[in-house]
Every structure is written in structure tokens, then in C-alpha cells.
Amino acid sequence: MAREQNETRPRPQLPVGGEEDYEHLLEDYGHFAPPTQGEIFDGRVLKVTDKEVIVDFGYKCEGLVPIEQFIQPDGQVSVQPGDVVDVMIDRGGVELDGYILLSHEKAVRIRAWDNLEKAYREQLLVSALVLGRTKGGLTVDVGVKGFMPAS
């Protein structure tokens, strides 16, 4: 059966624009917003050198974390390419050789405090590593160093 030239096809219905559609678009493209200082990101380690760790944290350029922030007490580097680490922008997002300066230590410290506050609110038990004994109690590590009284 041949089509007639004057045949009109129904046009597909497009969603009517409005505030809901605009908000949805903003959510979809929110990852293009510049990162803010104090925001913690999940970064993927791309490369480990003798001085720094290069991290992809989802921004237009990679970030740089000083290697000292990943050195364990035995001198070994605790990360390798592909690992996911917490990072945040350090020193106002200073760029160094095209990389944004990041801090792993600050991100871990903030995340630890958030976890402690949540445990306090929900009255959860917290495990601690005893670092030493002092007058009146123990020095402990619960993500951050703290004091636990003996009484």
C-alpha cells in the first residue's frame, strides 16, 4: 500500500517544560559545578610517584596528594593505582603543575569526626586502638587521636 503524500503523521509528544524539568537538568549536570573547599570526594588513584599520588576526583583535572600522606609507619606506601581514597581540596584549590592540590589526611580526619558524631547520636559502641598509657587513662586512636579516662 502506497503512502499518500499529504498523509500527516502524528508528532511525538515531548514533555512540557517547567520547573521540574529544569531541576532535573540541574541534577543531571551538577557534576560540572566546581568543587568546593571542605567537600570530601572519592578519588581513584591514577599514579604513584616518589613524591606524590595523582588522583582522579571527578573534576576537569586530576589532583595531587603529597606521598607523605600515604606512608605507613614501616615506610611502605599504602596505596596503588586503582585504589579509591578520600580526598578534599587543600589550600583553596591551589594548582600545581596543572593539578589541584588535595589532602587525604584532612578528608580522613573529617570523615572520622562525622563517624564519631553519628556513633554518639545513635549511641553505638566505638572500637579504639590503644596507643599508650597516660596518667589517668589511655591515649587511643578512633580515626583521630583521643583520650579515654580510666574511670
| Domain range list for the chain | 35-124
**Gap between the Cα atoms of 46 and 139, Å rounded:** 36
CATH level 3 topology of 35-124: OB fold (Dihydrolipoamide Acetyltransferase, E2P) (2.40.50)
Q: Are 98 and 52 in contact (CB under 8 A)?
A: no
Q: Is 115 exposed, middle or buried (0-12, 13-18, 19+ CB in 10 A)?
A: middle
Per-residue pLDDT at 64 exceeds 60: yes
> What's the pLDDT at 27?
62
> What's the pLDDT at 22?
64
The structure's pTM equals 0.67
Portion of the chain with pLDDT greater than 70, in percent: 74
CB atoms within 10 A of CB 78: 14
Largest CA distance in the chain: 97
> What's the pLDDT at 91?
73
- Tens of pLDDT along 90-99? 876 667 788 8
> What's the pLDDT at 14?
47
Q: Using the Cα atoms of residue 93, residue 96, residue 100 and residue 104 in order, give the sign of their dihedral.
A: negative
The predicted model gives 28-41 an average pLDDT of 67
Which residues lie below 8 Å from residue 99, measured CB to CB, with a gap of 6+? Answer: 54, 61, 62, 63, 64
How far does Cα 99 stand from its chain's mean position? 16
